[in-house]
């Protein structure tokens, strides 16, 4: 069964090729079957291979499938080969299964869009690229998938390209993530220079002995790889592209935020854990970036009016939790939160898309309200996902994944009370902005009438993701609530376990109680501020500090002042320099010659005949004279 591993990325790729070649000539039914069916088959195959991998694990808990040698230059011989272990299997499951549900949802959501076939073509390529990224046996192939998801994000964010603002959002995402991509490429060059390979197994085995000889090299490689992850996962200070990425259709937002691009950085750091563990300074930097990001993004989410932008900042914040876990050495906890986050964040984006479509494309939560009775399935599933995002204790999957991160940020040998307190404060803020969104959207007076109700293709993915958002966390329970470690026991076949200080072990239940109170308290604050006192909430929304948070702490303005405007100013000065005049002259000369030659093509036969005669005379003259 595992020899069919290559089919998992090949099926979405085949779907992309058929849709790209067929284009608009394909009937919508056929295009939908190809787009959804190819990802659905990949998801089914992933589950089947996963069952075989778990029940009959391969030798060393790793299965490598070599397809062909990609490049053969001296000692540099990267292959097109796929590597399946516990880490990549988790990511493959999330990408294919959640991706399939998003594709099924899209059948109805995009049914009237003129770019229906194009949409599914890009979505299939997106899934294929992410699968290549997480299954790659070497870092060069991983980088191919890395660039593939970047390209697809550009295509899908700017999908409705007739609106120039959508094109600008796509360009912004592409350009900002290029900063991280360039750093990652340099990091790979430096890593190859030191280790003489990009094969993941060889790096994990040999890097500790080789890189430990030079602390500066370890630091440089670790920071370069980290910048790559920060750019792709929208962490400080490269987070500004993600809120604008909401220009794409809601299924695109769900795919980018839940299952593919934004979590690529988390995968990269987890996969290269050996390199990062060699540099405590880089590990500390990862934790600080995660802690700062989750707080900054959470506060920004508090002030948003657009329901999708709330979720965008929420994604930045939740990925910040994953970085926090990675930085304190809780590798499995970060991956666990990635999986649970994929369930509830995909559900939130799909639910938000259903709300937006039902209100004739309205995004402003202050113009919604009272939808719980008109959209009962959407309301119930959205409420479940919101409760999981807010980490309501005991009953939601999000509680178990986030609580684990908070616990390790305190108890890990790399953790600290400050990191724990930042995560706790972020959890409180998360509960406030999440239920602010719920109360403004589904409670209170109805400000608009529903013009469209979702069909089964939308409801089925919502219900399935709702179930996973509630029950998905019960495979990993803390010591105080069952002591079940199915997930970490599985992922720790690949990732190292976290080192917990003995002094902190006795305080776990106290920290859990504090975290639970923070989540419940945040819901209570949101209830009082946005349900009981909605008029006061609108006044707060119009305050100066709310405007500052609404603009994402003015990072865009800062970057425009420091980087963009000076470059534009220098370009304006430089555009008329003597170098440009040389090429302008060449262009004008070519244009003049073109005009002269075009006059010979005037359609008059006598001029053509005269030209032939003159040419013949000149030819004969040259022959006679020579």
Q: Tell me: the pLDDT tens digits for 239-258?
A: 999 999 999 899 999 998 87
Rounded CA separation 329/500 (Å): 10
Rounded CA separation 248/163 (Å): 11
Q: Are 374 and 446 in contact (CB under 8 A)?
A: yes
Q: What is the DSSP annotation of 233-273?
A: TT-TTS-THHHHGGGS-HHHHHIIIIISGGGHHHHHHHHTH
Would you call the peptide bond into 615 cis, given omega within 30 degrees of 0 as the criterion? no
Q: Are 379 and 438 in contact (CB under 8 A)?
A: no
Q: Is the pTM of this model over 0.85?
A: yes
Q: Tell me: the pLDDT tens digits for 104-130?
A: 999 999 988 888 999 999 999 999 999
Q: What percent of the chain has pLDDT over 90?
A: 71
Q: Where are the domains of the chain?
A: 1-173+243-274, 279-542, 576-625
Rounded CA separation 124/21 (Å): 13
Which of the four pLDDT bands, split at 50, 70 and 90, describes residue 572? confident
Q: Tell me: the pLDDT tens digits for 495-522?
A: 998 888 776 667 888 999 999 999 999 9
Q: Are strands 79-84 and 63-69 parallel, antiparallel or unpaired?
A: antiparallel
State the chain's mean pLDDT as an integer: 91
Query: What one-character DSSP code corresponds to residue 56?
Result: S
Q: Are 129 and 99 in contact (CB under 8 A)?
A: no
Task: Give residue 450's pLDDT.
Answer: 86
The three-class DSSP label of residue 1 is coil
Kindly state the average pLDDT of the residues 329-351.
Answer: 96
Farthest CA pair distance, the chain: 109
Q: Which residues, in sequence order, are CB contacts of 564 under 8 Å at separation 6+?
A: none
């Amino acid at each position: 069964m595992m020899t069919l591993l290559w089919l998992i990325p090949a099926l979405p790729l085949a779907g992309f090729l058929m849709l790209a070649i067929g284009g608009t000539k394909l009937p919508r039914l056929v295009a939908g079957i190809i787009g959804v069916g190819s990802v659905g088959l990949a998801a089914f195959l992933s589950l089947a291979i996963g069952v075989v991998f778990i029940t009959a694990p391969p030798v060393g808990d790793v299965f490598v499938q070599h397809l062909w040698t990609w490049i053969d230059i001296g000692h540099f011989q990267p292959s097109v080969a796929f590597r399946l272990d516990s880490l990549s299997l988790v990511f493959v499951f999330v990408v294919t299964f959640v991706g399939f549900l998003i594709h099924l949802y899209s059948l109805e959501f995009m049914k009237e869009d003129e770019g229906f076939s194009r949409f599914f073509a890009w979505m299939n390529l997106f899934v294929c690229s992410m699968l290549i990224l997480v299954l790659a046996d070497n870092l060069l192939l991983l980088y191919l998938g890395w660039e593939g998801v970047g390209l697809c994000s550009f295509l899908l964010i700017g999908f409705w390209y007739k609106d120039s603002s959508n094109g600008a959002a796509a360009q912004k995402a592409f350009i900002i993530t290029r900063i991280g991509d360039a750093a990652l490429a340099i990091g790979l060059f430096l890593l190859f220079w030191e280790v003489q390979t990009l094969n993941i197994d060889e790096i994990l085995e040999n890097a500790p002995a080789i890189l430990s000889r030079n602390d500066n090299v370890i630091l440089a490689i670790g920071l370069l790889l980290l910048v790559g992850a920060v750019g792709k996962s929208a962490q400080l200070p490269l987070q500004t592209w993600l809120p604008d990425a909401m220009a794409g259709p809601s299924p695109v937002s769900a795919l980018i935020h839940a299952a593919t691009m934004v979590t690529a950085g988390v995968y990269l750091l987890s996969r290269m854990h050996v390199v990062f563990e060699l540099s405590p300074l880089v590990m500390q930097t990862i934790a600080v970036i995660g802690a700062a990001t989750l707080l900054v993004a959470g506060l920004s989410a508090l002030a948003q009016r657009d329901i999708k932008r709330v979720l965008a900042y929420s994604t930045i914040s939740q990925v910040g939790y994953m970085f926090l876990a990675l930085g304190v050495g809780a590798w499995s906890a970060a991956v666990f939160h990635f999986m649970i986050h994929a369930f509830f964040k995909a559900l939130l984006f799909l639910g938000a898309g259903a709300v937006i479509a039902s209100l004739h494309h309205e995004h402003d939560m202050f113009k919604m309200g009272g939808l719980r009775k008109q959209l009962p399935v959407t309301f119930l599933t959205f409420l479940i996902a919101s409760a999981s995002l807010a980490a309501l204790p005991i009953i939601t999957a999000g509680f178990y994944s986030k609580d684990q991160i908070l616990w390790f940020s305190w108890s890990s040998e790399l953790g600290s009370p400050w990191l724990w307190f930042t995560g706790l404060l972020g959890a409180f803020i998360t509960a406030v902005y999440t239920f602010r969104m719920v109360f403004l959207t589904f409670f209170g007076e109805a400000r608009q009438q529903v013009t469209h109700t979702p069909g089964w293709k939308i409801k089925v993915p919502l219900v399935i993701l709702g179930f996973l958002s509630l029950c998905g966390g019960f495979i990993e329970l803390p010591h105080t609530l069952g002591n079940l470690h199915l997930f970490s026991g599985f992922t720790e076949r690949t990732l190292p376990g976290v080192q917990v200080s003995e002094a902190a072990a006795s305080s776990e239940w106290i920290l859990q109680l504090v975290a639970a109170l923070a989540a419940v308290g945040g819901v209570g604050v949101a209830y009082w501020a946005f349900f009981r006192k909605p008029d006061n909430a609108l006044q707060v929304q119009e305050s100066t500090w709310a405007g500052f948070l609404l603009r994402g702490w003015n990072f865009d303005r800062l970057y425009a002042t420091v980087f963009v405007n000076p470059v534009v100013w220098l370009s304006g000065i430089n555009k008329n320099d003597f170098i440009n005049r040389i090429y302008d002259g060449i262009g004008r000369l070519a244009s003049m010659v073109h005009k002269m030659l075009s006059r010979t093509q005037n359609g008059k036969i006598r001029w053509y005949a005269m030209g032939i005669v003159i040419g013949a005379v000149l030819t004969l003259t040259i022959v006679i004279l020579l």
